[in-house]
A and B are shown apart, each in its own frame.
Chain A
Amino acid sequence: MSAAASTPHVSAEPETLALLRHSVAGLARFDGQRIRAWRDRSPGFDRALWREMASQGWFAIPVPETEGGLALGIEAAAIVAEQLGRACLPEPYVMAGFLGPMLLAQSTNEAARRELLPDVLSGETVLAPAWQSADGGISPSTPGVFARPDADGFVLSGESRFVVPAEADIYLALAHDGDGLLVAAVERRDVRMLRQEPGPDGVSTAWLGFQDLRVPKSRLLMSGEAVAARVQAALDHAVIVQSAELCGLMQRALEMTLDYLRTRRQFGAPIGSFQALQHRAVDLFIQQELARHATGTAVRAAANATDCRVLSRAASSAKARAAHAALLIATQSIQLHGAIGFTDEYDLGLYVNRIVRLAASFGNAAEHRRRFAAASAET
């Protein structure tokens, strides 16, 4: 039995993917002024741009056609994420534009699916998966929220943390009911915002409190035995797509650094002509290429996976490399730029801060290396 196979998958044609890459690159352009303007401001991203992204169909990628989606598969999502990474967009595509719609589309509650999905796909409703407990573990099997049965549904209590976007319209709350996992759709007004924690990239995360919150059956999206594997598979897909976003970020950061090495002159020569710096640049390039291919391999594994352990292993392989490579490129790019690289007015810092954030969320390199080790022992 396979959990991974339950996720929608249709391999898109290469031409479709090339067109998609082109159209994402056209819409998602780097705009440092805009990024700086949204930092530390509610809701941390531009809802108008979010609707425009929706109108391009990007959020419909992981949704089956029967649900009004495009069913383009993870290859397409990875392309979107990579291009958004290149532009350093703060918009929470992986969480709210990919993982959220994917989970919702897999809901066994048809009425809820029919009611919520259209507005999510149009960008009107913004989803935020609330799956991680306050201690930050990366396994969904131990969420921080507990669900106990009630006459007409469930009562949720507990906390969820690192929720992105912090100010979503609907949270997809993952909870444990004693036997297994369930996912419920919860309105923002019903949840207590314990704290909004600021991120290095200016995007905050929510620390949510559920205090005996009654959730009617009509808002229960999925429950029962299959949920754990389904949520794990969805998270693994999201980890892979997030690795693609990191690839886009590190590519741009390295390009900026190579440009700088080519143009900055000291001692009467471009500093990029010095062998010590050339060799360091090559080592960063190697890491970038490894991340690209590790992510590409994971994308293909996810598109074809019939075994959830194979999927988890591939996802961890990609994120372990992408997070390591991106952080290395980010920090070395600062050093190769010199002091200017540490200033807020220079655009490199926006990439560095975004990389720091994404490398740490959904499990960092060390956590994914350990998960890769565990998955390798099983397979």
Chain B
Amino acid sequence: MSFRYGVEQERDWNALTDEEFRAIVRAEFEANYPTELRYAPRRLRWHETKDWYLRMAAKGWIAPNWPVEYGGMGLSPAKLLIFHEETERWGIGRYQDHGTLMLGPVLIRWGTEEQRRKYLPDVLACRSIWCQGYSEPGAGSDLASLGTRVVLDGDEFVITGQKIWTTLAQDATHMFLLARTDPGAKKQEGISFLLLDLAQKGVRVRPIRDIAGHEEFCEVFLDEARTHVSNLVGELNRGWTVAKSLLGFERIHIGSPRMPEYGLTVLKRVAEARGVWDDPLFRDKYFALALDVQHLADAYNHFTAIVIRGEPLGQDVSYLKIWATETFQRIADLTVETAGPFAAVKGDVRLNDTTVNVLASFYKARPPTIYGGTNEIQRNILAQQVLGLPRR
């Protein structure tokens, strides 16, 4: 009778105990996720992750964070955390998941019934892949100064401008973006949140090769790209509010200790292979980092407990991102130092009895201090909004 967004959930996950739920998720991941894709040293492309995520879609597990009535798993904060923990524990590679991570929650909160029915089923079935068009060449940390222009032509918005650092846009079919709909208004005031089909002649995607040799982000050139006015989400010129509302639960994941924990295990393997694992100088450095990770986990557990209680997170959660990402960098840097000449070899390195990708952590550790609001911006926010220091 009611509209069906995705496949039916096989059970009420929240009725299970945490342990039962964890066991089910773990068993599925361990049995079916391709071993060769575990802990990939880079973001995987859609042709690599496709089989896995189509399986997740068929199981109804593609959107663990969405309510059941919209085709998600409808997990409680505690169960959702377990799902993420198991995903990270097994080293499962992400696809371009902005459709489930960002677009779904946005449309469920701000979208029209028509928008939800049009877009959500395709996201759930992986028929559409969404990317996020926020940053521009002239609008990075100062995102509100973005200049992509929109003019109305009949019942269509005509969009011209350039987006950049768009993650895996070459795999995407659609983009949600912020663009300026009122050039006269100040900064945040004239920005709208729009949905755009990328398969049109006004759109050109150019992958950007990074220093690790990967192509994980792109430039997207919009030259009179067109979208129907019904693809405006929320009110006209209120896109900033829509975009900002996403910064809730997701903020905690970027502060998860799993990545630095994994970095430590790689560092340990490198140290053992290099014969310095028992060297007191090395151990001092290693265990200082191990404590940095331990205390990240202690703080992370504090914040997850707040989430599980269903309480809102304060602005102070931003420090988790700073500490997690900078700790991972220190681990990566010590890995390079410990590897000695082996850090001059790219990719998998034969290192005595073991094979390690020495530089994987080094490269993987660079973007997180920049994306999601640079750590410098995070420090500004903490200083002014948590510590109460005056603005300039």
Contact = CB atoms under 8 A, between A and B. Distances in A.
Given A258-B389, A272-B390, A289 B316 contact: yes
B295 interface: yes
Contacts of A261: 389
Nearest to B384: A278
Interface stretch (A23-31, A51-59, A367-375): A367-375
A370 B284 contact: yes
Interface of A: 258, 261-262, 269-270, 272-275, 277-279, 281-283, 285-286, 289-291, 293-294, 296-297, 317, 320-321, 366, 369-370, 372-373, 376
Which 3 pairs show the lowest CB-CB distances between chains A and B? A278-B383, A293-B298, A373-B287
B174 interface: no
Most chain B beta-carbon contacts within 10 A, residue among A286, A296, A320: A286
A294 B298 contact: yes
A279 B295 contact: no
Contacts of A279: 376, 379-380, 383
A281 B387 contact: yes
B390 A270 contact: yes
Given A278-B389, A293-B302, 18 more contacts: A258-B387, A258-B389, A261-B389, A262-B388, A273-B391, A273-B392, A279-B376, A279-B379, A281-B383, A282-B382, A285-B387, A289-B316, A294-B294, A369-B288, A373-B283, A373-B286, A373-B287, A376-B290
Interface of B is mostly: helix
Most chain A beta-carbon contacts within 10 A, residue among B286, B295, B380, B382: B295
Interface in B64-98: none
Contacts of B283: 370, 373
A260 to B, nearest CB: 11
A321 B290 CA distance: 12
A7 B388 CA distance: 42
A258 B290 CA distance: 30
Contacts of B382: 282, 285
A133 to B, nearest CB: 22
Contacts of B298: 290, 293-294, 296-297
B33 interface: no
24 contacts: A261-B389, A272-B383, A274-B392, A275-B392, A277-B389, A278-B380, A278-B384, A278-B389, A282-B379, A282-B387, A283-B379, A285-B387, A286-B323, A289-B319, A290-B295, A293-B299, A294-B294, A320-B291, A321-B295, A369-B287, A370-B283, A370-B284, A370-B287, A376-B287
Contacts of B287: 369-370, 372-373, 376
A156 B322 CA distance: 54
B295 A285 contact: no
Contacts of B301: 293, 297
B345 interface: no
Contacts of A296: 298, 302
Contact of B291 (A272, A289, A369): A369
A289 B392 CA distance: 26
A255 to B, nearest CB: 10
A258 B386 CA distance: 11
Contacts of B384: 278
B389 to A, nearest CB: 4
A285 B389 contact: no
Contacts of A270: 389-390
Contacts of B323: 286, 290
Contacts of A317: 291, 294-295
Given A258-B388, A261-B389, A272-B390, A278 B295 contact: no
Nearest to A320: B291
Interface string B256-283: 0000000000000000000000000001
A204 B376 CA distance: 44
A285 B319 contact: yes
Contacts of A258: 387-389
Contacts of B291: 317, 320-321, 369, 372
Contacts of A294: 294-295, 298
A270 B283 CA distance: 43
Nearest to A294: B295
Given A290-B295, A369-B287, A373-B283, A262 B390 contact: yes
Interface in B356-384: 376, 379-380, 382-384
Contact of A289 (B286, B290, B299, B391): B299
A286 B386 contact: no
Nearest to B285: A369
A285 B388 CA distance: 12
Interface string B116-143: 0000000000000000000000000000
B389 A269 contact: no
A321 B296 CA distance: 11
Contacts of B389: 258, 261-262, 270, 272-273, 277-278, 281
A321 B297 CA distance: 13
Nearest to A316: B291
A274 B286 CA distance: 34
Contacts of A269: 390, 392
A369 B302 contact: no
A224 to B, nearest CB: 34
Contacts of A283: 379
Nearest to B280: A370
A275 B296 CA distance: 25
A286 B322 contact: yes
Contacts of A274: 392
A283 B295 CA distance: 15
B284 A369 contact: yes
A278 B386 CA distance: 11
A370 B284 CA distance: 7
Contacts of B316: 289
Interface in B304-342: 316, 319, 322-323
B155 to A, nearest CB: 46
B225 to A, nearest CB: 37
Nearest to A278: B383
Contacts of B390: 262, 269-270, 272-273
A272 B392 CA distance: 9
Most chain A beta-carbon contacts within 10 A, residue among B284, B301, B387: B387
Nearest to A269: B392
A5 to B, nearest CB: 23
